[in-house]
Amino acid sequence: YFKEVEGKLIEETNYVLELEQSKEIALACSHIPNLLFPQYYAELSSDRIITMDYMEGEHLSEFTAYNTNQETANKLGQALWDFYMFQIHKLKKVHADPHPGNFLVSKKGELVALDFGCMKTIPDDFYIPYFKLAKPENITNQNYFVSKLYELEILREDDSKEEIEFFTEMFHELLSLFTQPFHIESFDFSDGNFFGKITELGQRYSKNTELRKMNGNRGSKHFIYINRTFFGLYNLMFDLKAKDIKINNYKNL
């Protein structure tokens, strides 16, 4: 896990790589409605400088602090959601640093995406079992669910009976909640009850004394940045108070 984090931190200081990744994502995602990217200039960039267009707008956190226009919030939310779903499901590579400082809102109410220093490639041996568990019929199928936990390295062959039971129950509860947006065609990300449950669940397990006694050395290394991506994305969607977000709209892009 430390190697995974170390690798990403080194990548984030590599401006040559960031320039390449920025151009790649901008080209691949420029067709997404209400989403803008700066143009990047390789001939004016170096290992210490990235040269791009100056993009006018205010940071997403500044916009959400005062916005009361639900239509604009929904438009920005759909653009943000489509951007991430298209990357994850179509490109299998995702901007793994979704926080308000990496997005601007233009005067026309369009989303401007910036800073592609932290990109995470999603291999199929993680992508397939991870998103299989986003389907409610698979979460409720006990045998199937457990088999995918082994594929994702959440359960280990050397686990005790108690560890298998504990982590199966824990991840069943976590995934049942965390994947709720994927269970329906459209989702209301302004729902404070949903985000309250996520907060409560996180706090409960952080204080769980039984969990501390268990062997915590488990889970694919890819969880670190994929979970970071989804937590960040969910928080941005909640900040926007975006409603009626079409979850699978990326399939039409």
Residue 6: the pLDDT is 54
* Burial of 224: CB neighbours in 10 Å, binned 0-12, 13-18, 19+: middle
Residue 15 sits in the same domain as residue 94 = yes
Hey, what are 147's tokens?
């088999």
Q: Please choose, from the candidates 65, 58, 120, the residue with its C-alpha nearest in 3D space to the C-alpha of residue 88.
A: 120
Residue 12 sits in the same domain as residue 82 = yes
- Look up tokens 């299998």; give the residue: 92
**Does the global pTM surpass 0.75?**
yes
The residue among 76, 103, 121 that closes a domain is: 121
Where residue 90 sits, what CATH number does that domain have? Answer: 1.10.510.10
Residue 134 sits in the same domain as residue 117 = no
* 246 occurs within a structural domain: no
Rounded alpha-carbon distances, angstroms, from residue 107 to 10, 33, 73, 78, 201:
35, 16, 13, 17, 38
Q: Please choose, from the candidates 140, 146, 126, 132, the residue with its C-alpha nearest in 3D space to the C-alpha of residue 222.
A: 126
* 41 occurs within a structural domain: yes
- What is the tally of structural domains in the chain? 2
Residue 132 sits in the same domain as residue 164 = yes
Residue 114 sits in the same domain as residue 194 = no
Q: Which domain holds residue 181?
A: 124-221
Residue 69 sits in the same domain as residue 43 = yes
Residue range 168-200, pLDDT digits in tens:
999 999 999 999 999 999 999 999 999 999 999
* 207 occurs within a structural domain: yes
Flag whether pLDDT at 34 surpasses 70.
yes
Residue 110 sits in the same domain as residue 188 = no
